[in-house]
Amino acid sequence: MGCPQFWKHEFGTCVGSLTSLEECSEQLKDMVAFLLGRSFSLEGSLEEAGLPGRNAADHGHVGAYKTAVPCATIAGFCCPLVVTMRPVPKDKLERLVQASCSTAGEQGQPVHIGDPGLLGIKDLAKPDYGEPVVCQPGDVPVFWPSQLTSLEAVSGYMTPLAFTSAPGCTVMTDLKGPAAPARCLTPEGMPEVHHISQDPLHYSMASASAVRKIRELETMIAVDPGSRGIRHLLRPDELLRASLSLSHARSLLLTTGLPTHFNHEPPEETDGPPGAVALAAFLQALEKRVCMVVDRRALSLYKKLVDEAVEQGVLKTQIPLLTYQGGSAGAAQAFLCADGDPKSPRFDHLVAIERAGRAADGNYYNARMVSMRHLVDPIDELFLAAQKIPGISSTGVGDGGNELGMGKVKEAVKRHIRNGDVIACDVEADFAVIAGVSNWGGYALACALYILNSCEVHRRYLRKAVGPFRAPGAQSWTQALPSVAKEEKMLSILVQHRVRSGVSGLVGMEVDGLPFHDTHAQMIQKLVDITTVHG
């Protein structure tokens, strides 16, 4: 076993092993050799992080797994990514990741932390190569790219003849390694690890500088212009974790609408729809699928809003508008999942921005304790159903505690918000983003997504280190950010729709009673300035 071992492949199939390639010297004359260096020792990083190594049953080489993640196709080579896994206690995750990145730069960065099923790995006890490493209670599986991906590339190429080193075997050469160490990350570029889902278990990563910027956004939108006491509702890093989850999502369902102006037709307030459209615009720029579910009563209003947003260039394309009426025990699951199958969700993240939320008594209240139930469809049921469907996360954005998703902070609402014991929403979201005005929360989510997708650490994690790093489409993304001009257009559309309905005494260009050109315009500009500044 001290001698190098080689595999012989014919047309992509391993047909045998060799202890030496000397007998194949004539065939080797017409072949090209690829040498993959071993510059990163995971065991060394484990030791540096103070974690005991747990090799495969203390013998053999650690297992590796084929994933469902396709590698970039180059010159006919095409194969799935192969990864290796180490179980890490959850309280040691960040220490290990930072140790591995300190040692090996971006090569030490994991490509996935959490449920192996998200990589298409069905059973950790059955690796495709080597021996399994057993996870203990409290461990989190952490995955790194494996050099065994090269074996899959050779097999997939179907070349008439190829030789590879066998798994677990290293070829020693007389070539000197590079004098320069691996490019290590700066403190600002060092990855941070954040938990974003429990079912399935999933962690995400972003650089320290990106996290710092998003925390600045969260602090900025938490000002309380109405003196409602929203600071009591704040939970740290809800904006960060919500935006990380949104960044991983592929198909989003947005909702908005809090019909509190009973003397107007339609009764929608100007807080909510502009923030939802701003978020939708940036999700479209990231090429994610976006739909919106609204009250059937207000469908014509939202159709006009979306049509004019596309015409004005605020949205890139139309957003499908849906309605939900409930009516049966399985209606919500049937709406959210293909053929009603919870294993096939149509959406992986739901977002409510200033959406009327159901209180404990089943009513929907405005801040003055007036019921809006006759104007509201039971869209809450979708968020309740999502809690029981693995793979669907949810975010609620609110500014008073009566909005959908604020059930997560309902006890604080009852204690600190006027009329909170009556109006508090009883329906939770996974993430509760609190803002002085809910539109600001929508703007901040869009800005946080820009920050994350401009972060090299996060983008590498999103793409599972597959393919080269491509600079983000900075110009198109910048154009998709919220702006004073775009949000003024959205407010104008809402106000004009009421005017055409014959309503007088409008609040005009105000949101939550605050003049747009003062408070709101300044907030939008500050958020964008934080987002786009370098460093």
- Quick: pLDDT tens for 106-127: 778 999 999 999 999 999 999 9
How many Å apart are CA 525 and CA 519, to the nearest integer? 10
How many Å apart are CA 505 and CA 27, to the nearest integer? 88
Q: Distance between alpha carbon 492 and the CA centroid of its chain, in Å?
A: 32
pLDDT in tens, 387-405: 999 999 999 999 999 999 9
Amino acid of residue 522? Q
Instruction: Identify the pLDDT of residue 180.
Output: 46
Minimal CA–CA distance to 275: which of 254, 260, 261? 254
Q: Give the pLDDT band of residue 156 (cuts 50, 70, 90).
A: confident
Residue identified by tokens 């469902």 is: 68
Beta-carbon neighbour count of residue 60 at 10 Å? 13
**pLDDT at residue 37 greater than cutoff 50:** yes
Instruction: Identify the pLDDT of residue 53.
Output: 62
**pLDDT at residue 103 greater than cutoff 80:** no
Q: Give the pLDDT band of residue 102 (cuts 50, 70, 90).
A: confident
Which of the pair, 532 or 428, is modelled with greater confidence?
428
Residues in the chain: 535
For residue 254, the surrounding DSSP H or E stretch is: strand 251-257
For residue 219, the surrounding DSSP H or E stretch is: helix 208-221
In terms of C-beta density within 10 A (0-12 exposed, 13-18 middle, 19 or more buried), how is residue 286 classed?
Answer: buried
Q: Give the pLDDT band of residue 456 (cuts 50, 70, 90).
A: very high
Q: At what angle do helices 438-453 and 208-221 cross, to 10 degrees?
A: 170
Stretch 204-219: mean pLDDT: 97
**pLDDT at residue 459 greater than cutoff 80:** yes
Mean pLDDT across the chain: 88
**pLDDT at residue 511 greater than cutoff 70:** no
Instruction: Identify the pLDDT of residue 502.
Output: 39
In terms of C-beta density within 10 A (0-12 exposed, 13-18 middle, 19 or more buried), how is residue 429 classed?
Answer: buried
pLDDT in tens, 516-528: 556 888 999 999 9
Beta-carbon neighbour count of residue 137 at 10 Å? 5
Which of the pair, 378 or 467, is modelled with greater confidence?
378
Q: Distance between alpha carbon 267 and the CA centroid of its chain, in Å?
A: 33
- Partners of 4 in the β-ladder: none
Q: Give the pLDDT band of residue 178 (cuts 50, 70, 90).
A: low
How many Å apart are CA 263 and CA 249, to the nearest integer? 39
Residue 67 has which token pair? 């994933």
Instruction: Identify the pLDDT of residue 517.
Output: 58
First to last CA, the chain: 51
How many Å apart are CA 280 and CA 269, to the nearest integer? 19
Stretch 337-353: mean pLDDT: 96
Task: Classify residue 403 by its DSSP letter.
Answer: B
Beta strands 349-355; 393-398: pairing state: parallel
Residue 260 has which token pair? 């509190």
In terms of C-beta density within 10 A (0-12 exposed, 13-18 middle, 19 or more buried), how is residue 17 classed?
Answer: exposed
Which of the pair, 193 or 39, is modelled with greater confidence?
193
Stretch 60-86: mean pLDDT: 89
Instruction: Identify the pLDDT of residue 254.
Output: 98
**pLDDT at residue 40 greater than cutoff 70:** no
Instruction: Identify the pLDDT of residue 209.
Output: 96
**pLDDT at residue 321 greater than cutoff 50:** yes
Let me know how many helices (H) and strands (E) the chain has, helices first: 17, 17
Task: Classify residue 428 by its DSSP letter.
Answer: B
Q: At what angle do helices 484-500 and 521-532 cross, to 10 degrees?
A: 150
Beta-carbon neighbour count of residue 521 at 10 Å? 17
Residue identified by tokens 């890139």 is: 316
- How far are the Cα atoms of 86, 120, 316 from residue 64, in angstroms, in the given order? 10, 13, 42
Max Cα-Cα span within the chain: 93
For Cα atoms 254, 256, 262, give the angle at the middle one, nearest 5 degrees.
165
Stretch 170-191: mean pLDDT: 68
Q: Give the pLDDT band of residue 504 (cuts 50, 70, 90).
A: very low
- Most confident of the ranges 6-20, 141-155, 293-307: 293-307
Residue 301 has which token pair? 């209003």
- Partners of 6 in the β-ladder: 18, 165
Q: Give the pLDDT band of residue 475 (cuts 50, 70, 90).
A: low
Minimal CA–CA distance to 331: which of 374, 385, 373, 376? 385
Which of the pair, 28 or 116, is modelled with greater confidence?
116
pLDDT in tens, 261-272: 777 777 888 899
308: left (phi over 0), alpha (psi -120 to 50) or beta: alpha
Which of 8-22, 234-248, 344-358 comes out lowest in average pLDDT?
8-22
499: left (phi over 0), alpha (psi -120 to 50) or beta: alpha
How many Å apart are CA 85 and CA 119, to the nearest integer? 12
Which of 129-138, 163-172, 232-241, 285-294 comes out lowest in average pLDDT?
163-172
